[in-house]
């Protein structure tokens, strides 16, 4: 008999995460791998406006089975078609010709982005089934207001906004496909390279229409060569040397930028921004409509995307709150698509995470806590055979033999915690004379899988959600929204820094108006660009929004119909206008609001004390 156990040991075992959404979620790396592989089997086709979907699919199926497809509109009709096998793409490419353009000349670049033409136009209307196009953009403000005003509660409003703005399955596919198409171009120079999406396209906080951040990952090419080294010989490529890593990055991006500009189908408006702190190539991918930012070897940013993805998956309130705060900030021009002294969406997301870490009990764990749950490096034993009477005894013996299980090891920062180790144990009952019979047990201990050091920065944290306990906090989204505005309306930005690693305020190490520590490159401030006046605008709007929500609480018994309420009221430009009007008065409105809020709070505390008394 063979028992295979997969045991997550100790107090870290939790099956499902999130207060509402109880479906287990995939690891970030699994999602990335699956989506990437899916994208490699997918093609993008510009179609004639009038097309028979049935015939179109029949035509493509000649090259192999089609797994899925969808159409969308973006200055023309496009189809995204996912084949079951990569070979089908090659087969399709083999029957595709390079167009002859009359006076112009075509550059014969064989990509996975095609143009479908009809040999004879469709003339029977019956042939044209009506094609359902998938929407790739977020709802208009008018539609959003209608939806928000029809919602049943503020919580419902926040969840509605999330539902309407989050990336759809199709939009995510299109993002991975676009990266995969750019990878094909880059692979002409660097075979085996990978172009990975990061930022809001993959961190679960992306809104329809957000930019597509991607980076050219050349690490795997380097790792490949080290694996192959064997014997006494070590083969190295002859390469060109340049004075610094930065210059290497600039040279690579410069050439890829040129290539995208000259040969990349659908890539327009290519700008090489090579003198930025993080050099990049910016371009529009016309067919998908994405504004793309291509960088290189940006693994830390990918890691921070993974961290945000985990935070977004831990509790269903996180994404709803982040989307609403981002939307509120956009509505009041606190954020902008143009780079400048404004707060960015990334900074706002980190602020929401920090706020949720500060609740009592906390809704989100600190990054340091996620680090303690990570797989730790154990002494090198991968497989252990022991002879024991039963699987249960075997398991406890195995655990006892794990380093760190000895009682005196507990509680020490530097010793591995076996409570957080994943153990694969295989038991077989039968005789093994050489070890005295009984059951045999093979134990495999995971070796610091989560450990991740990038450019000297420790980016280790647990990547398996199942090890993170859900929060016992049951606060409503309405309360959290109000408290968020109050919290940051009163935050001591002048002396404190926001730090999600420790989940508490730190003294500001430098004098930028807003200091938010980069979770991994801890000496960096992610909001270094933010000016004092932009920060003040944020504070003023936060106070006014807290005030509006408080007022609504009081008026709840007599709601006036036809008036935007809850989140809808916060998104109205009138909040911003009232701020600018108030500025003309002697005492700033936000100070008055702050004082009023404090007095409301203290009177409600007195009332409740009196009631209790
Ligand atoms: N990033 C960072 N430090 C910054 C700015 C950005 O580490 N000061 C990383 C973050 O991982 C971020 C990613 O770069 O998610 C992409 O940056 P950006 O496009 O500005 O933010 P997004 O999170 O993608 O949000 P948006 O939807 O506004 O694009
Ligand atoms: Mg982005």
> Residue 528 has what DSSP assignment?
T
Instruction: Compute φ and ψ for 282, nearest 5 degrees.
Output: -110, 135
The residue whose CB lies within 8 Å of the most ligand 1 atoms, and thus the one to mutate among 171, 196, 199, is: 199
**Helix or strand run (H / E) with residue 453:** strand 453-454
Give the range with max mean pLDDT: 118-122, 135-139, 158-162, 224-228: 158-162
Ligand nearest to the CA of 207: 1
Q: Is 525 in the pocket of ligand 1 (CB under 6 A)?
A: no
Q: What's the 3-state SS for 344-380?
A: CHHHHHHHHHHHHHCCCCCCCCCHHHHHHCCCCCCCC
Closest ligand to Cα 454: 1
Angstrom CA distances, 467 to 356, 362, 396, 464, stand at 19, 17, 20, 6
**Is the CB of 443 within 6 Å of ligand 1?**
no
346 in ligand 1 pocket by Cβ < 6 Å?
A: yes
Asked if residue 159 has its Cβ within 6 Å of ligand 1, the reply is: no
Mean pLDDT, rounded, of the chain: 82
In a mutational test of the pocket of ligand 1, which residue from 339, 346, 527 has the highest number of ligand atoms less than 8 Å from its CB? 346
pLDDT band at 467 (very low <50, low <70, confident <90, very high): confident
CA of 349 to the centre of ligand 2 (A): 12
- For residue 346, the ligand closest to its alpha carbon is 1
Please determine, for residue 46, whether its predicted confidence score (pLDDT) is greater than 60.
Answer: yes
pLDDT tens profile 387-432: 555 556 655 555 555 444 333 333 333 333 443 343 445 555 444 4
Task: Give me the helices (H) in 445-573, please.
Answer: 477-489, 532-555, 566-571
Q: Does 305 contact ligand 1 (Cβ within 6 A)? A: yes
Choice between 137 and 597, residue whose per-residue pLDDT is larger:
137
- 318-364+471-600: CATH topology: Poly(a)-polymerase, middle domain (1.10.1410)
Give the C-alpha separation, 373 to 469, whole Å: 11
CATH superfamily of 41-134: RRM (RNA recognition motif) domain (3.30.70.330)
CATH no. of 166-304? 3.30.460.10
Q: What is the mean pLDDT of residues 451-470?
A: 91
Strand partners, 439: 388, 429
Scan for tokens 């797989």, then name that residue. 375
Taking the C-alpha atoms of residue 377 and residue 448, their distance in angstroms, rounded to an integer, is: 4
Question: C-alpha dihedral over 579, 582, 588, 592, to 10 degrees?
Answer: -90
361: preceding bond cis by omega (within 30 degrees)? yes
Q: Do domains 166-304 and 318-364+471-600 have the same CATH topology?
A: no
When pLDDT is cut at 50, 70 and 90, the band that residue 226 belongs to is low
The pair of structure tokens assigned to 341 is: 């002294």
Which atom, in ligand 1's list, is nearest to the CA of 210?
27
Tell me the per-residue pLDDT of 84-119, one tens digit each, with 9 for 90 and over: 999 999 999 999 988 887 788 888 889 999 999 988
pLDDT value for 62: 96
Question: Looking at residue 323, what is its pLDDT?
Answer: 98
Question: Which residue minimizes the CA distance to atom 3 of ligand 1?
Answer: 526
Q: Which pTM was predicted?
A: 0.83
- Band (pLDDT 50/70/90 cuts) for residue 433 is very low
Give pLDDT tens digits for 337-394: 888 999 999 999 999 999 999 999 999 999 999 999 997 755 433 344 455 555 566 5
Q: Ranked by mean pLDDT, which of 9-18, 292-301, 389-398, 427-436 comes out on top?
A: 292-301
Task: For residue 208, give the ligand nearest its CA.
Answer: 1
Question: How far, in Å, from the CA of 465 to the mean position of ligand 2?
Answer: 24
**Looking at ligand 1, which residue's alpha carbon is closest to its atom 28?**
345
Residue nearest to atom 9 of ligand 1 (CA): 301
* The ligand 1 atom nearest the CA atom of 305: 11
Check residue 333 and give left, alpha or beta (phi > 0: left; psi -120 to 50: alpha): left
Q: Which atom of ligand 1 is nearest to the CA of 526?
A: 8
How far apart are alpha carbons 255 and 126 in whole angstroms? Answer: 49
CA of 256 to the centre of ligand 1 (A): 22
**Band of pLDDT at residue 229, cut at 50, 70 and 90:** low
- What value does the mean pLDDT take over residues 475-503? 97
Tokens coding 464: 């398996």
Q: What percent of the chain has pLDDT over 90?
A: 61
Residue closest by Cα to atom 15 of ligand 1: 199
Write the DSSP symbol of residue 104: S
457: its two tokens: 């920065």
Residue to mutate (ligand 1; options 28, 204, 213, 214; most atoms within 8 A of CB): 213
Q: Give me 268's structure tokens.
A: 């327009």
For ligand 1, whether the C-beta of 329 sits within 6 Å is no
Residue 429 CA from chain centroid, whole number? 46
Q: Write out pLDDT tens, residues 232-268.
A: 888 888 999 999 999 999 999 999 999 999 999 999 9
Cβ neighbours for 94, distance < 8 A, ≥ 6 positions apart:
none
Q: Where do the structural domains in the chain lie, given as residue ranges? A: 2-26+374-465, 41-134, 166-304, 318-364+471-600
The residues with which 357 forms a beta bridge, in sequence order, are none
> Up-side HSE of residue 561: CA atoms within 13 Å toward CB?
0
CB atoms within 10 A of CB 263: 14
């Amino acid at each position: 008999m063979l028992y295979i156990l997969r045991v997550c040991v100790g107090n870290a075992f939790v099956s499902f995460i999130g207060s509402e959404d109880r479906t287990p979620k995939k690891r970030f790396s699994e999602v990335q791998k699956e989506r990437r592989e899916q994208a490699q089997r997918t093609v993008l086709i510009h179609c004639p406006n009038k097309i028979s979907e049935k015939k179109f699919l029949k035509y493509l199926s000649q090259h192999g089975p089609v797994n899925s497809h969808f159409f969308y509109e973006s200055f023309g009709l496009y189809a995204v078609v996912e084949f079951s096998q990569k070979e089908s793409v090659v087969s399709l490419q083999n029957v595709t010709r390079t167009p002859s353009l009359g006076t112009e000349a075509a550059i014969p670049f064989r990509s996975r982005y095609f143009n479908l033409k009809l040999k004879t136009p469709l003339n029977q209307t019956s042939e044209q089934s009506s094609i359902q196009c998938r929407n790739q953009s977020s709802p208009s403000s008018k539609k959003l207001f209608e939806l928000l005003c029809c919602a049943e509660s503020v919580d419902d409003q926040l969840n509605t906004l999330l539902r309407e703005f989050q990336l759809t399955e199709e939009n995510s596919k299109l993002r991975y496909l676009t990266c995969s198409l750019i990878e094909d171009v880059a692979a002409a120079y660097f075979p085996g390279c990978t172009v990975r999406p990061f930022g809001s396209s993959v961190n679960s906080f992306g809104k329809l229409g957000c930019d597509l951040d991607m980076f050219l990952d050349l690490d795997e090419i380097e790792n490949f060569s080290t694996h192959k080294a064997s014997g006494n010989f070590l083969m190295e490529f002859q390469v060109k040397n340049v004075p610094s890593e930065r210059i290497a990055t600039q040279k690579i991006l410069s050439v890829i930028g040129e290539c995208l500009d000259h040969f990349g189908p659908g890539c327009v408006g290519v700008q090489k921004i090579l003198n930025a702190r993080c050099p990049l190539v910016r371009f529009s991918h016309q067919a998908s409509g994405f504004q793309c930012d291509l960088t290189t070897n940006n693994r830390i940013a990918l890691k921070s995307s993974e961290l945000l993805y985990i935070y977004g998956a831990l509790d269903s309130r996180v994404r709803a709150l982040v989307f609403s705060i981002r939307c509120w900030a956009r509505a009041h021009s606190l954020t902008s698509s143009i780079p400048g002294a404004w707060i960015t969406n990334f900074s706002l997301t980190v602020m929401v995470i920090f706020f949720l870490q500060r609740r009592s009990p906390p809704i989100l764990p600190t990054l340091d806590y996620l680090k303690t749950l990570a797989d730790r490096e154990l002494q090198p034993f991968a497989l252990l055979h022991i002879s024991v009477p039963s699987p249960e005894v075997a398991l406890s013996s195995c655990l006892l033999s794990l380093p760190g299980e000895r009682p005196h090891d507990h509680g020490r920062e530097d010793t591995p915690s076996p409570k957080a180790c994943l153990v694969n144990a295989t038991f077989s009952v039968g005789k093994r004379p050489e070890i005295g019979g009984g059951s045999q047990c093979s134990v495999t201990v995971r070796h610091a899988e989560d450990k991740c050091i990038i450019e000297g920065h420790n980016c280790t944290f647990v990547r398996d959600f199942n090890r993170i306990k859900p929060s016992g906090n049951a606060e409503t989204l309405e309360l959290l929204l109000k408290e968020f505005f109050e919290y940051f309306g009163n935050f001591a930005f002048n002396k404190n820094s926001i730090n999600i690693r420790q989940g508490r305020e730190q003294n500001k190490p430098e004098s930028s108006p807003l200091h938010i520590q980069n979770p991994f490159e801890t000496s960096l401030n992610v909001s270094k660009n933010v000016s004092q006046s932009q920060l003040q605008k944020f504070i003023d709007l936060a106070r006014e929004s807290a005030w509006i929500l408080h007022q609504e609480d009081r008026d709840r018994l007599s709601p006036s119909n036809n008036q935007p309420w809850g989140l809808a009221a916060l998104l109205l430009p009138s909040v911003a206008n009232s701020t600018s009007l108030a500025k003309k008065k002697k005492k700033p409105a936000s100070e008055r609001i702050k004082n009023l809020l404090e007095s409301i709070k203290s009177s409600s505390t007195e009332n409740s004390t009196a009631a209790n008394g």
